[in-house]
Structure 1
């Protein structure tokens, strides 16, 4: 079995444990039971869905995910008794899957993930902590979240996401590698 084969196998499915919307910059995040995901927008009701997408990077961050199993670890590293997911301001809290593993390490392979019965996403990269996390969680929280800040994703097919929805591998796409700089096609 090759490394490519191994990176496309998962022992279990995940589950959406929480859905969090950030209505506006500086306003408290809110927990909802369901939200509509739209390609090139994000979750309707979230502040990112209200902004115009432009540039190459913008579609890669339509949705943010956080690993449910990391909540007690990050809380401990920050010296907190517990950590409410709204304080992290990530859109989905997912259990049962290693979120880092949801992104292929190979540039010519795309893993597409189904959430519930309608939504399809592609995990695009890490969601690194920012200075706001330090202000929210206190001294040392920036370093506590490094490598544990969650993941970003683009929405390939929209629809309704509900708490309790399954998160499962939907498809494996082989894509043509991007041409190297200066290479003639």
Structure 2
């Protein structure tokens, strides 16, 4: 499977009344190119994996397993039809707007080779939050987006470098466990069957796996 990068997008600080941090970088706009590198831990690291991309809520966003966020242009076009409004590249806060690539068909742990040097690894789904809802200004947005279940993918940086619009994206390797981004999203949203499938595949980092195991244990006791 292959596609291309349609747009690379970077966010700068903007006011955010939806969270106590008061600012957000969700409003991303296209750039000529971006440099990506592993940002380190979520707390105490560099934030975004994209150099110059602003992240305010470093408690919940950024870090190595949420270094880069990709969303398919095809999905943006679907939402544009559903909402009856234009949705430019970067509107959902994605760093990479792709074309011809089934981002939501990706399997956790698969590697994407981008351009001549960059390799990114699929880590998991995006969980919608109040900042996203405020940006969209659509009633019931978090539920509506969650119900659609196609969230785009967070990626880690395996090999750093420059990404430019037009760069090819090639799926270089894919694990056999078959846990896709939407399955992981359902797991994080409380679907016990999906959670057990994800845990059995052993495809999460230890922090997220521990959180998911705790959720399963709590809901099973109930």
TM-score of the pair, normalised by structure 2: 0.62
Alpha carbons 2:90, 2:97 under 8 Å: kept: no
Taking only aligned residues, the RMSD between alpha carbons, in angstroms, comes to 3.2
Partner of 1:111: 110
Task: Confirm whether residue 68 of structure 1 aligns to residue 88 of structure 2.
Answer: no
Residue of structure 2 aligned with 1:26, choices 9, 20, 24: 24
Partner of 1:107: none
Corresponding pairs, count: 161
TM-score of the pair, normalised by structure 1: 0.73
Considering fraction of residues, name the structure with more helix. 2
Change (3 A) 1:96 1:128: same
Counterparts of 1:34-73 in structure 2 under 5 Å? 34-40=33-39, 41=46, 42-48=49-55, 58-73=63-78
Q: Structure 1 residue 132: deviation in Å?
A: 1.9
SS in 1 for 2:143: helix
Q: Structure 1 residue 148: deviation in Å?
A: 2.6
Partner of 2:195: none
Distance in 1 between residues matched to 2:76 and 2:202, nearest whole Å = 36
Partner of 2:150: 148
Q: Structure 1 residue 38: deviation in Å?
A: 0.7
Q: Which runs of 5+ in 2 are unaligned?
A: 14-22, 40-45, 177-200, 211-222
Distance in 2 between residues matched to 1:165 and 1:35, nearest whole Å = 12
Partner of 1:94: 98
Runs of 4 or more, structure 1, over 4 Å off, are 176-181
Considering fraction of residues, name the structure with more strand. 1
Q: Structure 1 residue 69: deviation in Å?
A: 0.3
Alpha carbons 1:34, 1:160 under 8 Å: kept: yes
Q: Which runs of 5+ in 1 are unaligned?
A: 1-9, 105-109
Distance in 2 between residues matched to 1:51 and 1:88, nearest whole Å = 16
Alpha carbons 1:19, 1:35 under 8 Å: kept: yes
Partner of 2:169: 167
SS in 1 for 2:71: strand
| Higher normalized contact order (CA 8 Å, seq sep 6+, divided by chain length) | 1
Partner of 1:124: 123
